[in-house]
Amino acid sequence: MHTIERNGDGGGEHQQYLTFRLGQETFAMPILSIKEILEYPTLTNVPLMAACVRGVLNLRGSVVPVVDLAVRFGREPGQQTRRTCVVIIEVQADGEWMDVGVVVDGVNQVIDIPASEIEPPPSFGARLRADFIKGMGKVDGGFVVILDCGQVLSVHEIAELGVANTRAA
């Protein structure tokens, strides 16, 4: 388990991002929304959940749903390896903050990306829904996809996916 140190208020010229892998692609999330990183834990399956929800885990007495980001992005589930981990993220739903875990293939590093080095999301050609992308960060001559955690982990939308799956069954 790694606890993330949060530096600054996120409102300055530089913001810190945690970069991670899903398959061969690198993504980033603002460090201020990340609480901690866990080795892949034992999960409890919950019936009638959306396909992207792998289950729940017990985090210091709280039930935390765990979302497979690959499945959420419409891809095949990733293969679990020794680098697979769960990143615990705080998201807001109905004015309250809650923790959601996301399965990633591996965590890379925390990087600073100046605001001047972040481009708007592409209007077409991305392999993700446009509303999932907050921006494209220029890093080492390439781009890193910066995710919009609130959209990707929309509790209401994921719940609706679970309801739709039960209706189709």
> Which tokens is 137 given?
């960060």
- pLDDT given at position 142: 87
- pLDDT given at position 43: 94
Torsion of CA 137, 140, 142, 146, to 10 degrees: -20
- pLDDT given at position 82: 92
- pLDDT given at position 1: 54
d(CA 150, CA 38): 21
Q: 25-30 and 14-22: which strand pairing?
A: antiparallel
CATH number of 15-110+153-163: 2.40.50.180
Q: pTM value?
A: 0.82
Torsion of CA 120, 16, 143, 40, to 10 degrees: -120
Which position has the token pair 């140190």? 5
Extended beta strands in 60-105, E state: 62-68, 85-93, 96-104
Query: Residue 125 belongs to what H/E stretch?
Result: none
Helices within 30-154 (DSSP H only): 69-72, 149-152
d(CA 3, CA 21): 19
pLDDT averaged per 10 residues, the chain (length 169): 46 79 93 94 89 93 93 88 94 87 95 93 75 91 91 80 52
Residues, the chain, total? Answer: 169
Taking the alpha carbons at both ends of the chain, their separation in whole angstroms is: 37
Q: Pick from 42, 50, 152, 127: which is nearest to 86 by CA?
A: 42
Cross-strand bridge partners of residue 119: 136
- pLDDT given at position 8: 41
pLDDT digits (tens, 9 = 90+) for 90-122: 988 778 889 999 999 999 999 999 999 999 987
